[in-house]
Structure 1
């Protein structure tokens, strides 16, 4: 069933506001964001101590409650109950956009399910901020966030990502950055272009641009500090590599593979093969059914 949300119509329920906070420079806080934090009944913060520094700076006196990955299951229904009672809540993460690499998405889903308006505010985001200054193509891009910690899972994830043409964007800590870039070089190749954006918007903001091996060498010589955004050039040969999987197949073999792999009837599989190979559907149909021309 389709649902519509008219964000600013009068209603009995409260509103959940998603309020971005600065990723480093406090001057990036918007007037609207400060006003919302002043107006709501409660602020749900990933780290109340961290957010209190922000509230003190802008002289916001609204009460906070903690809302993070360790208490989200318990706290979400409590916050939904307050919203249903007519209270409005602002959800904030430590820095940047709520719901990106934090538990905010659980609260948003619960609010939507309960028919509560969810109103997002625009504002700081480390991934996009780093991407537009990277010098690599900003669109299309694929944002993953943090990569798996275990080496086996990390390699498997990178091998899947190597099939993508889009510019890739990740977050990483200073403790793992060298290990991750080393793994990327092993999967993507040492000549793939890479940009590290360190401490974005902060006093020691820095961009390191080069190939995988050049950036790894830089990391080997540095005392690494600060949070990183990693931007990786997409694989421009990804489609060519995918074509090689079926380019030596007969048309009948290709149709049979699509039918089995995608659980499609022959009619739809024939259509898909014709589109992939840029050829008339009737030719694929004839080859599959072994019809004489």
Structure 2
């Protein structure tokens, strides 16, 4: 993040004017969302809370200290990350019982989702103390807001948050199989060193649509919506596209009645896509029919569509 050219006292005065009248009870943990890239995405209420707490617990003090300074804040920092969260939680509970206000922030976005914070909140709740959320920036909701999902409530959940898949082995393969079987939208997160591998895995889903967000809210943000089959080529088309942090929305399966698939379900299409990686269209359709029991003609038509993609 780049330190903005702004007058910090004015920002904090605005935070006080807008959010200062709210009651902020003592002995509570404040779970504060911070920007995912653009410093302008901090909320005024977050600034107000960060200015009045007794200490800020954070995933990485080296990251949080300059973040606070960018807004003209200087608070004591407590290191709470995935490797010490259980031990650090006990100390925070002790401080809360003494009447302190403690804020918790992760390196970026909303804590406790894919970042540390969940075990800390659980420990605080089990101690009978309050956890108060301060919503804000999130790559998940940011990408969903522009992905164009329009799933009717009667068709099941609009989306499922999947997050990071297991990096390798049987657990990853099981997660990919489950992902392919979900008819509704799924939200994924991925790191730059694994995005190519994820793109290759998702390519097996053929014409199923995916929206990818790279470096969301930052200067070189990119958002693209395309078939899963095209994702590896899109990433490889420009060298910089494998850099940065990624969020992906795997769109719902298109109802089979509106396509050439002739009533095929998601599992039949998934099996067909996998067979097409090794077999010609005719052989994949024949074997797919034997495995799934789906109509051979419908599988053949769908295989032609996948090959064309």
Which of the five TM-score ranges fits, normalised by the shorter chain?
0.7 to 0.9
1:63 to 48, 52, 76: 76
Confirm or deny that 1:145 pairs with 2:163: yes
Confirm or deny that 1:40 pairs with 2:53: yes
CA distance, structure 1, for counterparts of residue 266 and residue 139 of structure 2: 32
Verify the 8 A CA contact 2:203 2:230 in the aligned structure 1: no
Verify the 8 A CA contact 1:155 1:183 in the aligned structure 2: no
2:237 to 199, 216, 221: 221
Verify the 8 A CA contact 1:209 1:215 in the aligned structure 2: no
Instruction: Say which SS state the counterpart of residue 33 (structure 2) adopts.
Output: coil
The residue number in structure 2 matching 1:182 is 200
| TM-score of the aligned structures, taking structure 1 as reference length | 0.74
| TM-score of the aligned structures, taking structure 2 as reference length | 0.71
Show the 5 A alignment for 1:121-200. Answer: 121-137=134-150, 140-186=158-204, 189-200=205-216
Structure (1 or 2) with the larger CA radius of gyration: 1
Verify the 8 A CA contact 1:162 1:235 in the aligned structure 2: no
Verify the 8 A CA contact 1:17 1:119 in the aligned structure 2: yes
Verify the 8 A CA contact 1:44 1:89 in the aligned structure 2: yes
Verify the 8 A CA contact 2:160 2:185 in the aligned structure 1: yes
Instruction: Say which SS state the counterpart of residue 202 (structure 1) adopts.
Output: coil
| Unmatched runs of 5 consecutive residues or more in structure 2 | 1-21, 152-156, 257-262, 269-309
1:74 to 87, 90, 107: 87
| Unmatched runs of 5 consecutive residues or more in structure 1 | 1-7, 245-293
The residue number in structure 2 matching 1:93 is 106
Please list every run of at least 4 consecutive aligned residues from structure 1 whose deviation after the TM superposition is greater than 4 angstroms.
Answer: 8-11, 236-244
Instruction: Say which SS state the counterpart of residue 193 (structure 2) adopts.
Output: coil
Show the 5 A alignment for 1:267-278. Answer: none
Deviation at 1:101, TM superposition (A): 1.1
CA distance, structure 1, for counterparts of residue 179 and residue 266 of structure 2: 13
Confirm or deny that 1:115 pairs with 2:128: yes
Verify the 8 A CA contact 1:14 1:116 in the aligned structure 2: yes
Structure 1 residues 240, 16: closer, same or farther in 2, change over 3 A?
farther
Show the 5 A alignment for 1:5-24. Answer: 14-24=27-37
Deviation at 1:9, TM superposition (A): 7.8
Verify the 8 A CA contact 1:163 1:235 in the aligned structure 2: no
Instruction: Say which SS state the counterpart of residue 89 (structure 2) adopts.
Output: helix
Verify the 8 A CA contact 1:48 1:64 in the aligned structure 2: yes
Verify the 8 A CA contact 2:180 2:266 in the aligned structure 1: no
Instruction: Say which SS state the counterpart of residue 143 (structure 2) adopts.
Output: helix
The residue number in structure 1 matching 2:218 is 202
Instruction: Say which SS state the counterpart of residue 158 (structure 1) adopts.
Output: helix
How many residues end up aligned between the 2 structures?
234
